[in-house]
Amino acid sequence: MADTAITVEKARKKYGGTADRYALDGLDLTVARGTVHAVLGPNGAGKTTLVRILSTLLRPDSGRVEVAGHDVVRQAYDVRLRIGLLGQHAALDEELGGHQNLEMFGRLYHLGARHARVRAAELLERFGLADTGRKPVKQYSGGMRRRLDLAASLITDPEVLFLDEPTTGLDPRGRAEVWSAVRSLVGGGTTVLLTTQYLEEADQLADRISVVDAGRVIADGTADELKALTGGDRIDVVLRDAGHLGAAVALLPVPKDDVRVDPDRRLLSAPVTDRMAALSGVVRALEEAGIEAEDVALRRPTLDEVFLHLTGDDRRVKEPA
């Protein structure tokens, strides 16, 4: 109990107004205290609905949802004392400046006027926004806005922090800024639940990942465990001449259907079981056939492949054309 920060049991939530479409359809989730947990899924999978329920903005229709040991419906106030929220859209007052925003939120967290001012200055410094002065938030860049938004959600050092697609719409630099901010939190013992469509983001930041689709968790585990679901390691072969792709497919030690062919990159990719035997076997076979390769490499599957395997491919199998 004490080492669980988030518990979701059979949470259901209808889409507003619809009779039988569920944004959450019996979702289960457990997040251990002090860990970073990624909720990974496509648009419309229910990620935002889940975050809104966890942060007391929405009530679930049924099921049990607890955050930091308190029920989000019956003990919403106790939950709010212990959480921080970074929503998909900046939850800031656009007309006011950075310091004004943070001071206002600090007062609303009942820090008292003086402490609220001190805390605002501290957080601006920490997130590299100390020199923004009176500039209104509407003139901030996307990355600055996100950082201020993140600062606002950290005013009281929350036990549990929710990040709903924290880097959507940011350029690579903005993304790197947010990532490093999230990493620095983890050392402090904060539990972080983040949603993302970016597999790389989940891979980079999260201890554990829940893959959601259509309002349910369809897979759960560490990045490595999820990658193992698609069948372990893969071998990638890049050929010098795309014209040889067809011939090279037959040389790989797997059934033809398991080989992914990418003609644009002159790339073949196939799952393998015995790593070293596969590597030497493929190199030798290519040499004997006189096919020139630019690169031959063994690698772990990417989360993209896991994701397609769990969602897209499965669905295609289930739904007959």
Partner 1 sequence: MSMSTYALTDSWTMTRRELAHWARQPVQVVVNLVFPVMLLLMFGYLIGGGRGVQGSYIDYVVPGMLALTMAFGLEGTMIAVTQDLNKGVVDRFRSMPMANGAVLVGRSVADMLQSALALFVLMGVGYALGWRADGGPGAFLGAVGLLLFFRFAMLWIGIHLALVAGKPEMVQAVQILVWPIGFLSNALALPETMPGWLGTVVEWNPMSHTATAVRHLFGGTGTEHVAAAIVWPSVLLAVFFPLAVRRFARLSR
Least gap, CB of 93 to partner 1 (angstroms):
5
Residue with Cβ nearer partner 1 (153 or 167): 153
CB atoms within 10 A of CB 239: 21
Positions 57 through 76 that interact with partner 1 (CB under 8 A): 57-59
Of 4, 30, 100, 132, the one binding partner 1 (CB under 8 A) is 100
Cα(263)–Cα(266) distance, rounded to whole angstroms?
A: 5
Q: Indicate whether 117 belongs to the interface with partner 1 (CB under 8 A).
A: no
Asked if 176 touches partner 1 (CB under 8 A), the answer is no
Binds partner 1 by CB under 8 A, chosen from 93, 122, 207, 236: 93
DSSP secondary structure letter of residue 128: T
Nearer Cβ to partner 1 (108/277): 108
Burial of 115 (0-12, 13-18, 19+ CB in 10 A): middle
DSSP 11-78: EEEEPTT-SS-EEEEEEEEEEETT-EEEEE--TTSSHHHHHHHHTTSS--SEEEEEETTEETTTTHHH
**109 binds partner 1, rule: CB under 8 A:** yes
The answer to whether 166 contacts partner 1 (rule: CB under 8 A) is no
110 binds partner 1 (CB under 8 A): yes
- Rounded to an integer, what distance in angstroms lies between the CA atom of residue 114 and that of residue 81? 20
* Residues 17-56: x where in contact with partner 1 by CB under 8 A, - otherwise, as a string: --------------------------------------xx
Cβ-proximal residues to 197 (8 Å cutoff; 6+ apart), any chain: 40, 41, 42, 43, 165, 168
- Phi, psi at 282, each rounded to 5°: -70, -45
5, 27, 38, 87: which one contacts partner 1 (CB under 8 A)? 87
Q: Which CB sits closer to partner 1, 59 or 315?
A: 59
Q: Of 86 and 185, which has the nearer Cβ to partner 1? A: 86
Neighbours of 294 (CB within 10 A): 11
Q: Which C-beta is closer to partner 1: that of 82 or that of 300?
A: 82
Q: Are 295 and 237 in contact (CB under 8 A)?
A: yes
Dist. CA 210–CA 51, nearest whole Å: 13
115: contact with partner 1 by CB under 8 A: no
Determine if 157 is a binding residue for partner 1 (CB under 8 A): no
Tell whether residue 132 is a contact of partner 1 (CB under 8 A).
no
The residues binding partner 1 (CB under 8 A) are: 16, 55-59, 77, 80-81, 83, 85, 87-96, 100, 104-105, 107-110, 136, 152-153
